[in-house]
Amino acid sequence: MGAIPVGAGPQSTYTVQQQPPAGSCHYRMEKGEPLEDLKCNPGAISPAVTQANLSTTICRKGGYTKNIRPPEAITRKEKQANAASYGYKGSLGDAEYDHLISLQLGGDPNDARNLWVEPADPGHKPGSGVNNLKDPVETKLHTAVCSGKVTLKAAQQAIVSDWTTALSSLGLS
């Protein structure tokens, strides 16, 4: 797998990003879990987060991600367009407009290459608040990066390759 694209990083003002054409993206399935189309969503990292500045970005106390998220008015429009890109027919309320490389792993906040409509996991109970099994994987990777067990680049590459095997591929499961 090649280098992960670099996005624009956090912006003071976000604009709605153009999404792939309707019907052009196709989910992959691994272990019963939906994965993104790598042609549409190869991921994108933020140039603002590097191995050298982890303590002042994603690993700092007090949070990093809440200050760089695009507003819902932007992401709502992107989510609707991205659902069309994937031909997603389910309830948008049950799907997450997900950062492939999460913000807590230095993913770009609003690059269309890093955001995709992730369907709820099979067996999801609508209204439960738990949409997918990817979130705990992201948190474990974040902890491993911030504790020095794995590099930022290794964690980003593992999540892009296949989040269902990211932990095991890094010896963290």
Tell me the pLDDT band of 127, cut-offs 50, 70 and 90. Answer: low
Span 74-88, average pLDDT: 97
Mean pLDDT for the chain?
Answer: 92
Tens digits of per-residue pLDDT, 152-164?
999 999 999 999 9
Q: State the pLDDT at residue 130.
A: 52
Q: State the pLDDT at residue 32.
A: 82
Q: Which residues contact 72 (CB under 8 A, 6 or more apart)?
A: none
Instruction: State the alpha helices, DSSP H only, in the chain.
Output: 72-86, 134-146, 152-162, 166-169
Of how many residues is the chain composed?
Answer: 173
Instruction: Tell me how far CA of residue 73 lies from CA of 78, 90, 116, 117, 122, in angstroms.
Output: 9, 21, 16, 16, 28
Q: State the pLDDT at residue 25.
A: 98
CB-CB contact of 165 with 155 (8 Å): no
Q: State the pLDDT at residue 77.
A: 97
3-state secondary structure of 3: coil
Tokens standing for 137?
């994987």
135, 61, 46, 91 alpha-carbon torsion, rounded to 10°: 30
Q: Which residues contact 96 (CB under 8 A, 6 or more apart)?
A: 117, 118, 120, 131, 132
Span 71-83, average pLDDT: 97
Residue at 120: amino acid letter: A
Tell me the pLDDT band of 131, cut-offs 50, 70 and 90. Answer: low
Say what the pTM is. 0.92
Tell me the pLDDT band of 2, cut-offs 50, 70 and 90. Answer: confident
Q: State the pLDDT at residue 117.
A: 96
Share of the chain above pLDDT 90, in %: 78
